[in-house]
Amino acid sequence: MFLEHHGAELQKGALGVLSKAASLGDERVAGAVLGSGVKDLAAGAGAYGAQTVYVFDDAKLEAPLPQPRVDALAKLVEEEGFDTVVFAGSVLAADVAAGLAARLEAGLNWDLVDLSQADGKLVGKRPALSDSVYVDVGWTSEPRIALIRSGSFDPVETGGSAEVEERQADVQDFSLAATMVEQAHEESEGPSIEDADIVVAGGRGLGSPENFALVEDLAKALGGAVGATRAVVDAGWYPYPTQVGQTGRTVSPKLYIACGISGAIQHKVGMQGSGVIVAINKDPNAPIFEFSDLGVVGDLTDIVPKLTELVRARKG
């Protein structure tokens, strides 16, 4: 299991996939943490099901570049004889998984939303036909490489502990040909859309990018995060990292409030795992009402501000 980290924390998505891997009942569940100054992160993975965590702590791995990680993981897989390598979906993980598959001549199944055991074989579940159906997929050889769709699994603590083993990163010269010139971090307040318990999302029904302030105010009042549809992101109304949907992020908050969102299938697949879905739309025939738990038909420019006021009043 590739345990991706950001700063001083293991990523929630990686811990969720680790928890799922541990639940399959395999006797040998291991994780790998790669970076610089990351040794202290390793032990925490034991609480989510890892029995062993391999640490590659090397200055050559400080920048989040894929090729040095491919070098380290390929050697680890070959030396330890792992038959399966699992990644939680992210930009870096996708690059590393693809490079590792090419290096090891291994089969890669991607965009999986579930893993299970059937007759002693690992089976992945993958959406198809615009996420309208699910298909079971497998591997014809080992090692098997699986890339899991972001947001598919939540971390589950088991209370276990992991043995931490340090390894040397044997990085090839050609893997150091690329260097990272600069790494910028978006400044934002509140939780990310993937970690938030509440997401308030806006679509083209807002009418203008200025009206995203209504969504932001409601999200702030609720202590949630702001999401957006692909249409508004493509139009430049809101940043790409907030996009929810098939080509964006997959979220599963306790509460999802959709403001001015029609509910196309591409958006639905990114938020249908939410606990409670509330839709606000002036079109009573909008598809989103078909899978919402609560629907409000009306002008969102009137409804959302009033809802924000009520939330603030309730909180005192």
- The single-letter DSSP state of residue 63 is S
Strands 255-259 and 133-137: unpaired
On whether both 72 and 21 belong to a single domain, the answer is: yes
12 & 141 share domain: yes
Containing 310, the helix (H) or strand (E) segment is helix 300-315
The number of helices, as runs of H, and strands, as runs of E, in the chain is 8, 16
* Contact between 29 and 40 (Cβ < 8 Å): no
Same domain for 139 and 238, yes or no, is no
Residue 235: what pLDDT?
Answer: 93
C-alpha–C-alpha distance, residues 114 and 188, integer Å: 31
- 299, part of any domain: yes
Residue 23 lies in a domain: yes
Residue 83, pLDDT score: 94
Look up the pTM and report it.
0.78
Residue 233 lies in a domain: yes
Is 203 inside any structural domain?
yes
DSSP state of 96: H
Is 223 a member of any domain?
yes
Query: What pLDDT does 228 receive?
Result: 95
Residue ranges making up the domain that contains 129: 5-176
Q: 295 in a domain, yes or no?
A: yes
pLDDT in the model for residue 184: 67
128 within a domain of the structure (yes/no): yes
Residues paired with 199 in a beta bridge: 225, 256
Are 159 and 239 in the same domain? no
Q: Is 168 helix (H, G, I), strand (E, B) or coil?
A: coil
Which residue, of 176, 209, 229, is where some domain finishes?
A: 176
Question: What is the domain-level CATH number for residue 81?
Answer: 3.40.50.620
Cα(112)–Cα(127) distance, rounded to whole angstroms?
A: 7
| Dist. CA 38–CA 261, nearest whole Å | 41
Asked whether residue 206 falls in the same domain as residue 172, the answer is no
The whole-number pLDDT of residue 248 equals 84
Per-10-residue mean pLDDT of the chain, 316 residues long, equals: 90 93 86 93 91 94 94 96 94 95 96 91 88 89 93 86 92 91 67 87 94 95 94 92 86 94 90 93 95 95 95 88
What pLDDT is attached to residue 190?
64
Count of domains forming the chain: 2
- Partners of 108 in beta bridges: 145
User: Which residue, 73, 89, 74, is CA-closest to 11?
Assistant: 89
